[in-house]
């Protein structure tokens, strides 16, 4: 008989699909004969953070109503609910998968369980990108016994086997483990797993409400499917380059791997026919990092699935023929990371080498085939000025995106730009970052925090409204009663002008028409 594992998932209300990593671990551990339970804070409003609500407030997404699928915010106290579940389940191991911006919530979850964990002597493991690149910070929590660096599939299997057999787990590969004398045993990182040997994710672990997510104003029964693990690009604000370097140095292996098309097809058919999936969310940093042969095989396979799907990719991976073929088999929406509109800044500081003219040309293709797309942008980088950030506005004005957003830069541990921020004294090495939708973090004399926040809030208005309105929009940036009133007035005008019911599109409740003259 196996052991019992309780997963904790610290998450803000309305943020993210169900976590594929936990769903995968559940499938793996159940295959080994263990029992798995989950406590997920997504349904609660934590610290006042409402990720999707913030996106709607900033006009980054079409309005939607989760209540149409019967999904409501929990009104009970998550602390009391967590204690009840822990005491009813009585786990042999508690595991947390956490991003950096959610770690402080995860730490509070462990503190809530502190007396019970000490009394029951239940070990706690923490994994995820934050644990990989800042294990010393995670291990400071008194309830944390170990962290997993890198991929966790094999480490979790080995750890649970050791606990079941009642033998020491201090030498399990990829784990940093607290020892009785207060030191840390740093075990070598295990070799990468073959992702094609993994089972399909276990969605039975989650409440029904977690399967539903908004897209283009509609609520779908949406499931994540992993296609590619890793990314071939080296963006300075992303942790993927560091992850690749980490494994190259630790094991000599290449982190980028792709799942076999036949395995994708099996999982997709199970989701479509067995679960009633309405929409597929392809889980890959750069979906179109396929070879021509792999792309052909995917299109041939997906023609038999033909559920609407979302993907994320980079403009330089796009061709018009690829858009046409993907649209034929179900492509509904693309997210493009552009990040910044100043070409020189993008090349020098972000390691993104692509011209604005090429971006504009390629992003004209999706609408030719009725494919919606959004554009992701970031401001508040080190060395950036407001004038540079306005170049991002100008580039987005040249692109007829269905949605566009602008996030404040967050210096996550494990990203090349984190080191630059620390070198410049903009962030202390031990500082833990906040949520992407939270207020800016970096205090820079050439680009004050209030200007970053104001441009972030009014970004879509600058992109869509004529330049003759820009002075008015600038006044709406102000965090004053007059600024708030003006912003709400402009927001109301924007909604009336640009969001219209999309009766001609079965996969959207709203569409944004081609913008009028923006002179």
- DSSP state string for 365-416: HHHHTT-EEEEEEEE--TT--HHHHHHHHHHHHTS--SEEEEEEP---TTSH
The whole-number pLDDT of residue 62 equals 65
Say whether pLDDT at 243 is over 80. Answer: yes
Say whether pLDDT at 56 is over 70. Answer: no
Query: CA-CA distance, 148 to 156, in Å (whole number)?
Result: 9
How do residues 156-207 score in pLDDT, each as one tens digit? 999 999 999 999 999 999 999 999 998 999 999 999 999 999 999 999 999 8
Average pLDDT of the residues in 216-221 = 87
Average pLDDT of the residues in 259-266 = 97
**What average pLDDT does the structure give for the chain?**
91
How do residues 372-386 score in pLDDT, each as one tens digit? 999 999 999 999 999
Give the CA distances from residue 61 to residues 220, 315, 358, 370, in Å, rounded to whole numbers and listed in that order: 15, 20, 25, 18
Closest CA to 216 of 60, 72, 101, 82: 60
The whole-number pLDDT of residue 257 equals 96
pLDDT grade, residue 49 (50/70/90)?
A: low
Query: CA-CA distance, 510 to 37, in Å (whole number)?
Result: 38
Say whether pLDDT at 61 is over 80. Answer: no
Which residues have C-beta within 8 Å of that of residue 411, sequence separation ≥ 6?
Answer: 417, 418, 421, 426, 427, 433, 441, 442
How do residues 107-134 score in pLDDT, each as one tens digit? 999 999 999 999 999 999 999 999 999 9
Q: What is the largest CA-CA distance in the chain?
A: 72
Higher pLDDT, 327 or 210: 327
Average pLDDT of the residues in 231-257 = 94
The whole-number pLDDT of residue 514 equals 43
- Whether pTM > 0.85 for this model: the answer is yes
Say whether pLDDT at 69 is over 80. Answer: no
**CATH 3.40.50.280 region(s) of the chain?**
4-186
Query: CA-CA distance, 113 to 118, in Å (whole number)?
Result: 9
Q: Which class in CATH covers the domain with range 4-186?
A: alpha beta
The whole-number pLDDT of residue 516 equals 40
Q: Which class in CATH covers the domain with range 227-471?
A: alpha beta
| Residues above pLDDT 70, as percent of the chain | 91
The whole-number pLDDT of residue 515 equals 43
How do residues 405-458 score in pLDDT, each as one tens digit? 999 999 999 999 999 999 999 999 999 998 766 789 999 999 999 999 999 999
Which residues have C-beta within 8 Å of that of residue 323, sequence separation ≥ 6?
Answer: 331, 365, 366, 368, 369, 371
The whole-number pLDDT of residue 12 equals 85
Say whether pLDDT at 9 is over 50. Answer: yes
How do residues 134-159 score in pLDDT, each as one tens digit? 999 999 999 999 999 999 999 999 99
Query: CA-CA distance, 227 to 260, in Å (whole number)?
Result: 8
Give the CA distances from residue 144 to residues 106, 177, 258, 438, in Å, rounded to whole numbers and listed in that order: 11, 9, 33, 27
Which residues have C-beta within 8 Å of that of residue 5, sequence separation ≥ 6?
Answer: 29, 34, 35, 36, 37, 91, 92, 93, 94, 95, 160
The whole-number pLDDT of residue 216 equals 82
Written as six digits, the tokens of 75 are 């009104």
How do residues 302-348 score in pLDDT, each as one tens digit? 999 999 999 999 999 999 999 999 999 999 999 999 999 999 999 99
The whole-number pLDDT of residue 53 equals 56
Say whether pLDDT at 504 is over 60. Answer: no
Query: CA-CA distance, 61 to 481, in Å (whole number)?
Result: 25
Say whether pLDDT at 500 is over 80. Answer: no
Give the CA distances from residue 364 to residues 218, 355, 372, 390, 394, in Å, rounded to whole numbers and listed in that order: 24, 15, 11, 22, 16
Query: CA-CA distance, 228 to 37, in Å (whole number)?
Result: 27
Q: What angle do CA 390, 392, 394 make, to 5 degrees?
A: 75
Which residues have C-beta within 8 Å of that of residue 493, sequence separation ≥ 6?
Answer: none
Say whether pLDDT at 510 is over 80. Answer: no
Closest CA to 436 of 16, 21, 150, 9: 16
Most confident range, picked from 70-74, 217-221, 460-464 = 460-464
The whole-number pLDDT of residue 214 equals 86
Supply the Cα-derived Rg of the chain in whole angstroms.
Answer: 23
The whole-number pLDDT of residue 122 equals 98
């Amino acid at each position: 008989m196996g052991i019992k594992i309780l997963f904790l998932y610290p998450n803000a209300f309305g943020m993210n699909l169900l976590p594929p990593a936990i769903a995968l671990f559940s499938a793996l551990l159940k295959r080994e004969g263990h029992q798995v339970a989950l406590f997920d804070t997504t349904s609660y409003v934590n610290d006042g953070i409402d990720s999707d609500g913030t996106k709607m407030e900033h006009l980054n997404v079409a309005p939607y109503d989760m209540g149409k699928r019967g999904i409501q915010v929990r009104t009970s106290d998550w602390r009391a609910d967590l204690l009840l579940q822990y005491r009813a389940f009585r786990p042999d191991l508690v595991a947390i998968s956490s991003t950096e911006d959610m770690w402080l919530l995860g730490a509070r979850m462990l503190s809530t369980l502190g007396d019970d964990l000490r009394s029951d002597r239940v070990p706690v493991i923490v994994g995820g990108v934050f644990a990989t690149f800042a294990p010393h910070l995670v291990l400071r929590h008194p309830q944390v016994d170990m962290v997993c660096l890198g991929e966790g599939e094999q480490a979790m299997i080995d750890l649970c086997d050791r606990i079941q057999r009642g033998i020491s787990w201090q030498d399990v590969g990829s784990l940093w483990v607290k020892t009785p004398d207060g030191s840390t045993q740093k075990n070598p990182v295990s070799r990468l797993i073959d992702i094609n040997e993994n089972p399909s994710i276990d969605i039975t672990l989650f409440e029904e409400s977690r399967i539903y997510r908004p897209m283009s104003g509609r609520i779908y029964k949406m499931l994540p499917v992993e296609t590619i693990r890793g990314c071939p690009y080296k963006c300075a604000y992303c942790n993927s380059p560091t992850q690749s370097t980490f494994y190259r140095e630790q094991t000599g292996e290449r982190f980028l791997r792709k799942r076999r098309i036949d395995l994708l097809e099996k999982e997709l058919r199970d989701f479509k026919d067995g679960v009633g999936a309405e929409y597929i969310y392809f889980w890959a940093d750069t979906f179109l990092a396929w070879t021509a042969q792999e792309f052909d095989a995917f299109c041939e396979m997906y023609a038999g699935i033909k559920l609407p799907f979302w993907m994320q990719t980079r403009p330089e991976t796009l061709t018009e023929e690829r858009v046409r073929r993907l649209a034929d088999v179900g492509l509904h929406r693309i997210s493009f990371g552009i990040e910044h509109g100043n070409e020189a800044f993008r090349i020098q500081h972000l390691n993104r080498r692509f011209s604005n003219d090429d971006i504009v040309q390629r992003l004209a293709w999706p609408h030719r085939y009725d494919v919606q797309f959004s554009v992701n942008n970031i401001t508040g980088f080190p060395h950036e000025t407001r004038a540079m950030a306005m170049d991002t506005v100008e580039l987005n004005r040249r692109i007829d995106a269905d949605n566009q957003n602008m996030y404040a830069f967050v210096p996550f541990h494990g990203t090349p730009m984190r080191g630059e921020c620390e070198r410049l004294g903009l962030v202390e090495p031990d500082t833990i970052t906040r949520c992407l939708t939270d207020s800016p973090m970096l205090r820079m004399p050439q680009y004050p925090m209030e200007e970053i926040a104001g441009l972030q809030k009014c970004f879509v208005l600058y992109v869509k409204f004529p330049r003759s309105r820009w002075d008015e929009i600038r006044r709406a940036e102000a965090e004053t009663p007059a600024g708030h009133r003006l912003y709400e007035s402009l927001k109301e005008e924007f909604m009336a002008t640009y969001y219209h019911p999309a009766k001609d599109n079965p996969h959207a409740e709203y569409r944004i028409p081609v913008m009028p003259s923006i002179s």
